[in-house]
Amino acid sequence: MAVTLTHLTDIFALGFDDIIDVRAPAEFAEDHIPGAISLPVLDDAERAEVGTIYKQVSPFTARKVGAALVAKNASAHLQGPLASKTGAWKPLVYCWRGGQRSGSFASILGQIGWRV
């Protein structure tokens, strides 16, 4: 579900249980939504690697490499910090720019059955 806000404070009225920031740790450290939980789908080095492949090889190859890394990291989050979440859990997932990272992670969470 796409969310459009007029003011950042509107986010807290939407009824989400957690706000999940899937950006790389350096991006999260630079700035994030107050109260957001950092669950990066790419670490800083992986993000740089995918970006380099995108520019030097091809967008397709970068997406393929990125998808494998996102799947690996999503698995770690599911077995770690998200392992105790019930079926009623409703997270808001965000990233930056194109939304591919948040879209990928949200798709995985949605396939499990969480309302994202």
For residues 20-53, one letter each, b for 16 or more C-beta atoms within 10 angstroms of the residue's C-beta and e for the rest, the string is: bbbbbeebbeeeeeeebbebbbbeeebbebbeeb
**Catalytic positions:** 95
Q: Are strands 18-21 and 37-38 parallel, antiparallel or unpaired?
A: parallel
